[in-house]
Structure 1
Amino acid sequence: MMNVKQILSTSVAVVAAATLFAGVVPAANAADTASTTTAVVSSRSFPKASAAKANLLAESTSTSVDENSDWGGIETLNVPQTKSQSEKDAEAAQKAADEAAKAQTQEYAASRSEQRTAIPQIDLGSMTGSSADLARYASQFTGYPYVAGGNTPAGWDCSGFVQYVYAQFGISLPHSSGAQAAMGTPVASLAEAQPGDILANGTHAAIYIGNGMVVNAMNPVQGTQIVDVSVFGGAGYAIRRLL
């Protein structure tokens, strides 16, 4: 009877232990499962990006640094700016144009110098004071320079030229084409004009030398030239006689 009770007690103990073990293992597995699930599930979210940023490839053009920073001397390097091909072409074209203009100016100056050298000098002592003598004297200044406001062979404008030439014959004239158009005696028409007469209006003055031609200071490019009376451009002009 005692053996039967001991066997029964042992069996109950084994069953109880088995039951307890069976309850612990599922609990541990559940804990592991819960732990695993918690590790892979995240509550964080990220914004969806469906397009590239517009300034993703923007180049940085300036950087602010401390003015007392020491960069080993690199901050003082003078790095030359690289020029584009179009900028180089434009500079080359401008340089060529400048050189061409300079050459043209030098050529014109040399031409005027040659013209002045070839002009025969007239002895004022041989002049009789006639208007023809004045016309011949005025004609020797072909090629002399035009200078606005000037009235000497170093440079004169239209009325300054007329003023200078007449002054050599003892006649004082104002330095104004409009005023010169009112000096002396009026001449009715070009057909009655004589060499040495003044042709003038409010904008230009010249000295008549005959055959429909005048000698006059024209502009900075052409200087003093002998041309026909069309130099007045169709505008009216007065013809005045002072000799």
Structure 2
Amino acid sequence: MLLAGVASCALAVTMLPTATAAPADSGAVASSRSFPKANVAKRNILAESTATEVQQDADWGGIEDLNVPKTKSQAEKDAEAAAARAAQEQEAARQRAEQEAAQRSASARAASRSASRQSIGSGSSAPAVADAPVSGNGAAVVSYAMQFQGVPYVYGGSSPSGFDCSGFTQYVFGHFGISLGRTSEDQRGSGTRVSNPAPGDLMWKPGHVGIYVGNGMMIHATKPGDVVKIGSSSYYSGWEYYRLI
């Protein structure tokens, strides 16, 4: 009966009159309607629903938010350890090279002083003036010498109980490993003669020696009846300055 009903409906639809335009002189109003064919895709309700979109704001977090710990392979660890050892060895080699260079420089200075003392004697002409580097140890020489202020002048004296001028300079520089002759003439030419004196330089003039302390001042064992003290170097003229340290 269902099939018969469907067939009856279909037959009725086909037998519906189609509206057509009435003749112009009939005076009747005519209209026509058409129904477009609708193509609707049927949804497969049996297919499984899938989604590929990742929800970044979900409570459990998106894939990109996963915190995966990073680990190093044993080969990477070994390479880093080898690089650290190489850096340590390189630094140690650099320090050894600097120490050896400093020792060679000190030996060269000592040899230069020794050669200068051997080639210059009493009554010889003044050595040539040269530019020599200023050492920070010059201030140490001055500081050491100043502690002997007030020691009496003793002719031939070379100890803190009494100094003459050359005995004083010989004692002070000897504390720093520099050997000077006993008399002022023996000390002339020691080290390198310089034109611009710096603290710690040896000062020489005929018959007298002292140590330059800076600003036109010197420390020396002055004369019989006096003491070791600081005074103006302008009191004497004709100074020669020698850099020993």
Do the two structures share a fold, i.e. TM-score over 0.5?
Answer: no
Higher helix share: 1
Name the TM-score, length of structure 1 as normaliser: 0.44
Name the TM-score, length of structure 2 as normaliser: 0.44
